[in-house]
Chains A and B, each alone.
Chain A
Amino acid sequence: MTLDPDTFLAIVAMAAATMLTRVAGIVVIRFVTIGSQQKRALEAIPPAVLMAVIAPTALVTGPAETLATVATALAAMRLPLLPAVAIGVFVVAVARALIGA
């Protein structure tokens, strides 16, 4: 049970950033009217950010990861979160074992 000062500082900084995003919405609606253009831009942020996070793993890490990402995406069309994630993990483990990556 250790607590590294740099780690603690990083956790507090992450918490502050997250709290800011959560409180900002109720502050913003008091002062700003969000038009259709602003709304579209804000709506595009979640898929854009999530895609950016997975893109290196999905596309340029290796064939096992690319295959598993495709399998997860296909599974997500039919299955809830947990089974779809389980399929992704299973596929990546099998593919790595077969390819030897």
Chain B
Amino acid sequence: MKRAGISQEFFGGMRAMAPLTIAVMPIGLVFGAVAAGKGLSSLEATLMSALVFAGGSQFVAMDIWTHPASSGALAFSALLVNIRHLLMSASIGTKMPAFSSPAKYAAMLLLADEIWAMAEVRAGETRLTPAWYAGLAVPFYCAWVLASLAGAAAGAFLGDPQAIGLDFAFPAVFTVLVMGFWKGRDTGAVLAASAAAAVLAYQLIPGVWYIAAGAAAGVAATLVTTRRQEACA
């Protein structure tokens, strides 16, 4: 592809992503502020955003953060929260004939939910190019990392996030995301099973096992409802 074509594709992706890039900034600020409230330095909060680059798992990490940090528990919860990326990369991976093999793997490292969604939209309309994908991913990544740094730096001055309800920002983000996954009564069964198992495990077992318990119960619920529907059919 000609040089002009490449930059045109990059800016096209960047323009398509602009609303999401702007929307992620306040969430990055909140993450940085919450991390500072948990005792992370600005460097540590920024490093987490730069290396992990998965907001959901970073907020969960802040929820279960201990001193000293427990790598095993944090890695396990990141694995559980981010396992959805497996489906996303499996799906978008089949729509990347324009990517070389190394470019495909590099692209996957930046596969945040929002970038995945925009890439799927593009692939449905026309050929998804590496330049377009870079236009989606690079500005969004920079906005997330810089907003985290700003939030962590300001967080020390903001004081206790609980006083102004900011600690509720991430449960609120998850609540909105859960509503987005709603696909009818089957989802209701998944959510009910997950909530019941999670609350029970939360009361009985210390640590983050309630996330694993809820995830397992939710998946079990969907398999049971499928089997029942197949039996009725």
Q: Which residues of A contact B (CB under 8 A)?
A: 1-4, 6-26, 28-29, 34, 37, 40-60, 65, 68-69, 72-73, 75-77, 80-82, 84-85, 88-93, 96
Contacts and interface: CB of A to CB of B under 8 A. Distances in A.
B172 interface: yes
Nearest to B69: A10
B218 interface: yes
Main secondary structure of the interface of B (DSSP, over half): helix
A50 B177 contact: yes
B175 A15 contact: no
25 contacts: A2-B44, A3-B41, A6-B71, A8-B44, A11-B48, A13-B72, A14-B51, A17-B79, A18-B78, A21-B82, A24-B85, A26-B90, A34-B90, A44-B219, A45-B215, A48-B222, A49-B83, A53-B174, A55-B194, A56-B199, A58-B171, A58-B175, A81-B173, A84-B172, A84-B176
SS class, residues of chain A in contact with chain B: helix
B60 A53 contact: yes
Contacts, number: 283
Q: By CB atoms of chain A within 10 A, which of B23, B105, B177, B197 has the most?
A: B177
Nearest to A5: B68
B82 A18 contact: yes
> Top 10 nearest A-B pairs by Cβ distance?
A52-B214, A48-B218, A25-B89, A93-B165, A88-B172, A25-B90, A26-B93, A13-B75, A10-B69, A6-B68
A10 B47 CA distance: 11
